[in-house]
Structure 1
Amino acid sequence: MRTLGDPVLHTPCAPVTDFGPALAELVEDLFATMYAAGGVGLAANQIGVARQVFVYDCPDDDEVRHVGHLVNPRLLAVDGPAVRGPEGCLSLPGLEAGTERGDRAVVVGVTREGEQARVEGEGFFARCLQHETDHLAGRVYPDRLAGRRRARVLRAAARAPWAVG
């Protein structure tokens, strides 16, 4: 798992152009890594692969489970009230901060087979969709923070045992 400070997390990922067996294997590897780490979403660059792919197994606010993946995703809409809620990340293990996100998100992309896909989420699942699309654009959630909240997370990350030197 790549952690905050690793350049791959801060560089926009390249689109996927090869929809062969390697992509299917990447999606399976992402799910396995996400489950092993206890996460609800994982982007390819978090395991060092700078390609536009993410997976999710995430509940919404009604505890409805959403499981899937997106290739070459694009955030189509973010709306609803802006909600500040606790947000963590497998690339910043053990840390979280109140991060503002839209309460509804729509993401479009394709499946690993190249079929068109549209995913809509509300509440916590919307947060997950926005978080993972941010990763593929080279952003991590502290990039959305300001002031003391941002400084607090970055100080804690610098002191963490997993900090990139």
Structure 2
Amino acid sequence: MFNNIIFLGGIHGVGKGTFCSKVKELLDIEHLSASELLRWAEVNAEPRNKLVADIPSMQGRLILGLHQRVEPTRKYLLDGHFCLFDSKGKVELVPFDTFSKIDPILISVLTAEPEAIVRRLTERDGKAYDLQVIRQMQEEEITYGKWVAGKLNKPFLVMERDEQVLVDAINTI
């Protein structure tokens, strides 16, 4: 659909925003955040709430936001998620249709040590996170990201804090 978006997935607290800022310094690329496109704070009463009541509806708003923002002559680095916590705190996959509509030219997942993610989230959100749930969510993010990439026949990359790996991959597309 867009043919100019690199999708960077990763769980909450993995450091996608910081990572994308560093990539943006190395490349002429626009960084978009899925949560900013969705105007996250307006949708959720509690700004640091990671629970999403209606994941499919939210993804529809993401696609609409991309249509309003993406220009065909630029490349974009979109940070987002392959899975989210539903309203009951259960890990739920983002519908495949979302990725099919975005049709990214490269799919990647940023990872970090689960203990570091828990520390960051606890400091940032002021609440405790279960290490096993974070570990499971990150594994699900990688597994589903790889599946999505295979289904869309797109290159797939998993990395931990090495911006140059992503920059090199983007430069080959």
Q: TM-score, normalised by structure 2?
A: 0.28
Between structures 1 and 2, the one with greater helix share: 2
Between structures 1 and 2, the one with greater strand share: 1
Q: TM-score, normalised by structure 1?
A: 0.29
